[in-house]
Amino acid sequence: MLQPSWKVNEIFYSIQGEGKHTGMPAVFVRLAGCSMNCPFCDTKYAAREGNQTDGPTLLQELSAWPAKAVIITGGEPSEQDLPALIALLKDAGYQVHLETNGSIDTDVSRADFICVSPKKYVSSEMLKKADVIKIVVGQDTDLKDLEKYYAYENAKTQIYLQPESNKQENIDLCVKLLKNHPSARLSLQTHKLANIR
């Protein structure tokens, strides 16, 4: 049987810089490929560039670091065989966090933490599976559009507003929105503020 492999853009060890687990050391597995092409994307280089990597090679690379948390990001991870990757990592004893735009409904049941960051379109099924719905907010954001995401808030799912590019005008907008919807939270990209990769 053909063993699964993934087109990987990069693997690196750092800390989670945003959202609920800010400050947590983790190994980032950035998968290549994303069909959205969002204008504000800060990882455009991952849309195409990457090397095909099989499971044993991936686990060998991960073993170089002491952290047992892995954050799968992209690109867009769901455009590859994401369930097989999550299973590989879980079976190897890793805690698995996923960052996805949620455009493709896929099996993420074994992931420990799921962050869905909606962009041009998003699967309602993936929004239901999210632990966090992270909404990037900029001056062009349709603020009325935010309301539909608040409907997915519950005991499991938290809304985070993330100012686009950490710009002050976007931070101010997020703070204003949060004051009107106090169950949501602010997510700054602290890795950029601290100049950490």
Total count of domains within the chain: 1
Peptide bond into 23 cis (omega under 30): no
In percent, the amount of the chain with pLDDT more than 90 equals 83
pLDDT at position 144 is 84
Give the residue-averaged pLDDT of 139-167: 93
Domain of 21, in residue numbers: 5-193
Give the residue-averaged pLDDT of 158-165: 96
Name the token pair of 140. Answer: 């062009």
Give the residue-averaged pLDDT of 3-13: 96
pLDDT digits (tens, 9 = 90+) for 29-65: 999 999 998 877 878 888 888 999 999 999 999 999 9
- Listing from the earlier edge strand, what are the strands of the sheet with 51-54? 51-54, 5-15, 25-31, 69-73, 95-100, 113-116, 132-137, 158-163, 185-186
Query: How many angstroms separate the CA atoms of 34 and 78, rounded?
Result: 9
pLDDT at position 43 is 82
Confidence of residue 84 (pLDDT cuts 50, 70, 90): very high
CA dihedral 14, 95, 43, 117 (to 10 degrees): -130
pLDDT of 2 over the 80 cut: no
Give the residue-averaged pLDDT of 73-97: 97
State which of 26-40, 72-86, 131-145 shows the largest mean pLDDT.
Answer: 72-86
CATH code of residue 154: 3.20.20.70
pLDDT at position 170 is 97
Give the residue-averaged pLDDT of 175-188: 96
Determine contact, residues 4/20, Cβ cutoff 8 Å: no
Determine contact, residues 46/30, Cβ cutoff 8 Å: yes
Angle between the N-to-C axes of helices 55-62 and 82-91, in degrees from 0 to 180, rounded to the nearest 10 = 50
Give the residue-averaged pLDDT of 133-156: 92
CA atoms within 13 A of residue 123's CA, in its CB half-sphere: 15
Give the residue-averaged pLDDT of 83-111: 98
pLDDT of 194 over the 70 cut: yes
